[in-house]
Structure 1
Amino acid sequence: MHKFNLIENARDSLEHALEHMGPIQKNGVGDWKRIIVGCAHVIELLFKERLRQVHPAFVFENIDKYPSLDAFTVSAKTALERLQKIGNVVFTKEDIRAISAAREKRNQIEHYEFSIAEQEAKALVGQTVSFIFRFAEDHLALGWKKDHLKNKSWGVLRQYTELYEDLLHKANEKIEAEKLVVIDCTSCRNDTFDIDAEKCLVCGHEEEVLDCKRCKSAYIYSSCEYDEAAELCPICEYKDGYASANFEKY
């Protein structure tokens, strides 16, 4: 009988993702799909392990059902919220961006249509893997960062983390030097989407930029939750929805 604890399960998922990481120039859509899902699963499992260290009951959606193995465990989103509120884990903006990007792409893969450009995929994997190693070292003391640097089989990961860090550095330099107006990218979640070029300077995601009919601010269409409210930016869309739900005038 084979049994994985949460850490062993997470490491296995990372190594399974590695099996699909050929040379950085030669991955296809199917490879990117499996790599992204694997990395997102690693994040979820690491979060659950950190929650387990606080108290094993917190790993379950309904803590009253602990220790039943038939009970549902928490989602990555709920795990993140509990780690912040109960586990006193502080996540940086960079961390939240990586978590959000990985979760949203995995949801697309598992529940909807999925397409991704090559640069976008490379940047996302590098962003996600960089976060995995930070969290594993800072909050679980796993030593994965050392493995990342020394383990020959994990060497390919350096191509992705270094590429992402280089893209982010160059993007921030360009934004500052040219005084570019940028907004949050709906793919990598970095504040690096060039409004004029309609393209993210990090991951290369391209999409039309619209102007909110209410507040006049620029926004990306896919950042909206509802198609029928597409003429509103996400902030105005939220306010409009809240007002309607509470019978308030907005």
Structure 2
Amino acid sequence: MELAFKEYLRLIHPAFVLESIDKPGKTVGINLALSRIKDPTIGNISISDVDHLKIRSAINLRNELVHYEFDHGIEATEAKFSEIFAFVIFFYREHLDLTPPDFIDEDDLQKILQRVKARAEMLQKARIYAKSNEGEVWLCPECNEDTFIVAEEQCCFCQRRELVSDCESCGQMVFACDVIETDSFLEWDYDEGRMTLIERYDLPATCCPECSSGITAKIEDFRRAQYYEDLAKESRR
């Protein structure tokens, strides 16, 4: 994918492949290449939000592999590969005038297509199972499919397991990994090597991302009220 982006930029002008004209020996990374091909003044390629999400997911996956932080299952990995494979195939076709046989060995291509077909069949079955489930079904944070069964705390497609908890602010169920500790919004005092919370304002200890803006607004209201109260006390002295 990165090479495809660079080739597209090179065809526009070789200078666009360089990270900077002041550094002729260093070419762009995939993030900068993506930014340039989307730039209306350079590549002017429109990439949908869905495809952009898939590209970002693929980039993150590659980075995890490079830094030895990869811990995804086979199903999730194949799902991500299938998504980005389809994008890359049609990027080559639409923007570089190349078809799969031009850059992939025929035997390898057939193996990939078999994997993609198997993935599609698995996804179809997972969607049927999810629809038959009487409980809530969420978008899976791993494969980005509507196949995460909340009651089971597991995606029935990629098998990703994720704890679900209640938001202490609104009571709605959220992924435990998305829960935010409200202490991070508050002021702390550092004294003799110890961190001390200045004021908790009687807030819940945690909240969901949707409630975070409301929590921060409440904190500002509390601080403003405290400020005016302190002013009133000063004026009475």
TM-score higher than 0.5 here?
A: yes
Distance 1:174 1:167 in 2: 11
**Aligned residue for 1:82?**
36
Distance 1:248 1:50 in 2: 49
Q: Which letter does structure 1 place at the counterpart of 2:37?
A: L
Q: Which letter does structure 1 place at the counterpart of 2:150?
A: I
Q: Which letter does structure 2 place at the counterpart of 1:204?
A: Q
Aligned-residue offset at 1:155: 1.9
For the aligned residues, what is the CA RMSD? 3.8
Aligned-residue offset at 1:240: 8.3
Contact 2:38–2:46 under 8 Å retained in 1: yes
- 2:8 aligned residue (34, 37, 50): 50
Q: Which letter does structure 2 place at the counterpart of 1:46?
A: A
**Aligned residue for 1:157?**
112
**Structure 1 residues 240 and 83: CA distance shift in structure 2, 3 A:** farther
Contact 1:134–1:145 under 8 Å retained in 2: no
Q: Which letter does structure 1 place at the counterpart of 2:106?
A: N
Larger Rg: 2
Deviation per CA, 1:44-71: give whole Å up to 9, x if none. 222222233344333334xxx3274323
The alignment-based identity, stated in percent, is 28
Alignment of 1:28-107 (within 5 A): 43-61=1-19, 65-66=20-21, 68-74=23-29, 76-86=30-40, 87-107=43-63
Aligned-residue offset at 1:208: 0.9
Tell me which protein shows more helix as a share of its residues.
Answer: 1
Please report the TM-score for the alignment, with normalisation by the length of structure 1.
Answer: 0.61
- 1:186 aligned residue (141, 146, 156): 141
Q: In the alignment, does 2:121 pair up with 1:166?
A: yes
Aligned-residue offset at 1:106: 1.9
Distance 2:117 2:133 in 1: 24
Higher relative contact order, chain-length normalized (CA < 8 Å, sep 6+): 1
Distance 2:220 2:25 in 1: 43
**Structure 1 residues 112 and 77: CA distance shift in structure 2, 3 A:** same
Distance 1:224 1:72 in 2: 39
Q: Which letter does structure 1 place at the counterpart of 2:38?
A: Q
Please report the TM-score for the alignment, with normalisation by the length of structure 2.
Answer: 0.64
Q: How many residues align?
A: 199
**Aligned residue for 1:113?**
69
**Structure 1 residues 167 and 138: CA distance shift in structure 2, 3 A:** farther
Contact 1:181–1:194 under 8 Å retained in 2: yes
Aligned-residue offset at 1:145: 6.9
